[in-house]
Chains A and B, each alone.
Chain A
């Protein structure tokens, strides 16, 4: 049962009990008031009767008319009191007494009337004075007797009312005591019940919540019943369940995160070791390429140098075939030197640190065109140069990229009149894609994968000179800046070389 219902019922019972008791009290008080008024009435009746008796005595002594009037007035008053008493004494015994009083009253009145008439008429027809006197004496006696009976009745009536008054008084007091005791009892009882219910419920709640608060999320209150405390307990249990679930998930997550952190730390340690290794091998590579640049080049220089000295030394003795041999050796040495230079550039590109920033490509393209235009040897080239957006990258690398692509374009348009070279840009999906398009010899798309690899050439050295490293360098430079390269072409129709870099707002 719900606490609210319980408290309401308790209140209703208490109120009902009190109401009933108050009603009883009211009734007893009314009874008591009735008894009091009856008692007062009986007292007054007694009083009036005594006074009337004295008036009558006075009348017998003096026989004055005034006394008689007084007596009659008293009699009317008593008559009125008796009529009132008809309503005041509803119960049996008092009614009998009242009836006796009324009878005696009527008799006494009747005797008094006869006596008065007798006295006033003088002689009522009796022959002798003695007879008259005796008659009068008898009348007086009769009247007195009736009067005594009247007094007696009145007294009994009065006693009855007094007794009744006492009884109603006691009853009233009893009801008051019972009422007070009941109120006290009910109050104590109600408080005790409330106390018990709340104490027990709260104690269980308190113990349970204390367990949960101490961290035992698996414990449940499991309160039985359907009252508010049980509901509170169930809500608390539901909350604890969710809390337990959440804590569980959280702990799992923390565990996972910790493991992930450990993995990351382990990977980082490995990475650090790898970086050290890499740095060491990088240093090794650097010193390797350094010595290559010095030591590999020196013999070539000597070959070329002493060839020239030999040629001078032989002078006239050198015939046509000998001259051709010397030229071939010379060209081979020069080619080897170029290869070494390009390889060094290629390896340096992988090592040097990038100095990135916003790069104005228009300036780079102008510069590159100037450089390659110096080697045109009178060839006609039609340039079609679009305005290029700035990109995020390393200016030195980008300069090399443009020079490479443009000198390639110039080289492979040899034999076209005019050679057409177009420089353009497209911005697609956060990338800036620049291209160099020419109407040169082009290439077969099935070899496009080889274009950007070291030492891969699609044309023979007789047709177009070159080491086969230029486009590999371009790819390396673009990829180091976070971009990509590709090419399109068709044999005899020309080629388009693309490189794409992240647009500046996307690049970090």
Chain B
């Protein structure tokens, strides 16, 4: 049974992008719920509660925001691991990336991404996109299996 914690996992290697994303989420009051990791390997450590994240609370985040271009393991590889791991496969994953390449988009949806958002260059749009993402997945979307443990 999947346990859900009220957290968003942000996987982003670029601190500037991370800060901007966090800024966007902050404006919707979601900043306190965000855990930020900087590469694909750490993202898997977090999700599987191993390595430096061995001691974190049990349960899955209700949303993973994933960049594609990541050190060590790419976002797509992380996505693949999530979808092939039984206890992780139902987590909603949104790709937030600067890549407009068709092949990335196609690969992402083939691997089971729930959304694919290209980072807009204009800050206002960027903030808007991040806010919509956070709000949609945090407040509007009903996750597939919901035994919520407060």
Chain A residues within CB distance 8 Å of chain B: 290, 293-295, 297-298, 300-302, 304-309, 333-334, 337, 341, 344
Residues of A near B120 (CB, < 8 A) are 301
Given contacts A293-B99, A294-B99, contact A300 B121 (CB under 8 A): yes
Residues of A near B124 (CB, < 8 A) are 308
Interface assignment of B33: CB less than 8 Å from any CB of chain A: no
Tell whether, in the assembled complex, residue B101 and residue A304 are in contact, meaning their CB atoms are under 8 Å apart: no
Residues of B near A307 (CB, < 8 A) are 123
Q: Other CB < 8 Å A-B pairs besides A304-B123, A305-B126, A341-B100, 18 of them?
A: A293-B101, A294-B68, A294-B98, A295-B69, A297-B121, A301-B16, A301-B17, A301-B98, A301-B121, A301-B126, A302-B20, A304-B122, A305-B16, A306-B20, A309-B20, A309-B23, A333-B121, A334-B122
Interface assignment of B45: CB less than 8 Å from any CB of chain A: no
Given contacts A298-B14, A306-B16, contact A337 B98 (CB under 8 A): no
Looking at chain B's contact residues, the main secondary structure is loop
Minimum CB–CB distance from A353 to chain B (whole Å) comes to 12
The distance in angstroms between the C-alpha atoms of A328 and B99, with both chains bound, is: 26
The listed residue (A293, A295, A309) touching B123 by CB distance below 8 A is A309
Closest to B69 in A: A294
Closest to B104 in A: A290
Residues of B near A337 (CB, < 8 A) are 121
Tell whether, in the assembled complex, residue B121 and residue A290 are in contact, meaning their CB atoms are under 8 Å apart: no
Given contacts A308-B124, A309-B23, contact A302 B16 (CB under 8 A): yes
Would you mind naming 22 contact pairs between A and B with Cβ atoms under 8 Å apart? A294-B97, A294-B99, A297-B98, A298-B16, A298-B17, A300-B121, A301-B98, A301-B123, A302-B17, A304-B121, A304-B122, A305-B16, A305-B23, A305-B126, A306-B20, A308-B124, A308-B127, A309-B20, A333-B121, A334-B121, A337-B121, A341-B100
The distance in angstroms between the C-alpha atoms of A120 and B34, with both chains bound, is: 203
Q: Which of B69-127 contact A (CB under 8 A)?
A: 69, 97-101, 119-124, 126-127
Tell whether, in the assembled complex, residue B121 and residue A293 are in contact, meaning their CB atoms are under 8 Å apart: no
Tell whether, in the assembled complex, residue B99 and residue A301 are in contact, meaning their CB atoms are under 8 Å apart: no
Q: Which of B121-150 contact A (CB under 8 A)?
A: 121-124, 126-127
In the A-B complex, list the 6 residue pairs whose CB atoms are closest, starting with the nearest. A308-B123, A305-B123, A302-B16, A337-B121, A305-B20, A297-B98
Residues of B near A298 (CB, < 8 A) are 14, 16-17, 98
Residues of B near A306 (CB, < 8 A) are 16, 20, 123
The distance in angstroms between the C-alpha atoms of A32 and B10, with both chains bound, is: 152
| Binary per-residue interface labels of chain B (60-73) against chain A in the complex, 1 for a CB within 8 Å, 0 otherwise | 00000000110000
- Taking each of A294, A308, A337, which has the highest tally of chain B beta carbons within 10 Å of its own beta carbon? A294
Residues of B near A308 (CB, < 8 A) are 123-124, 127
Residues of B near A300 (CB, < 8 A) are 121
Closest to A344 in B: B100
Minimum CB–CB distance from B100 to chain A (whole Å) comes to 6
Residues of B near A333 (CB, < 8 A) are 121
Closest to B14 in A: A298
Residues of A near B69 (CB, < 8 A) are 294-295
Tell whether, in the assembled complex, residue A301 and residue B20 are in contact, meaning their CB atoms are under 8 Å apart: yes
Tell whether, in the assembled complex, residue A293 and residue B16 are in contact, meaning their CB atoms are under 8 Å apart: no
Tell whether, in the assembled complex, residue B17 and residue A293 are in contact, meaning their CB atoms are under 8 Å apart: no
Tell whether, in the assembled complex, residue B122 and residue A293 are in contact, meaning their CB atoms are under 8 Å apart: no
The distance in angstroms between the C-alpha atoms of A73 and B127, with both chains bound, is: 181
Residues of B near A304 (CB, < 8 A) are 121-123, 126
- Taking each of B99, B120, B121, B122, which has the highest tally of chain A beta carbons within 10 Å of its own beta carbon? B121
Closest to B20 in A: A305
Minimum CB–CB distance from B108 to chain A (whole Å) comes to 14
| Binary per-residue interface labels of chain B (1-21) against chain A in the complex, 1 for a CB within 8 Å, 0 otherwise | 000000000000010110010
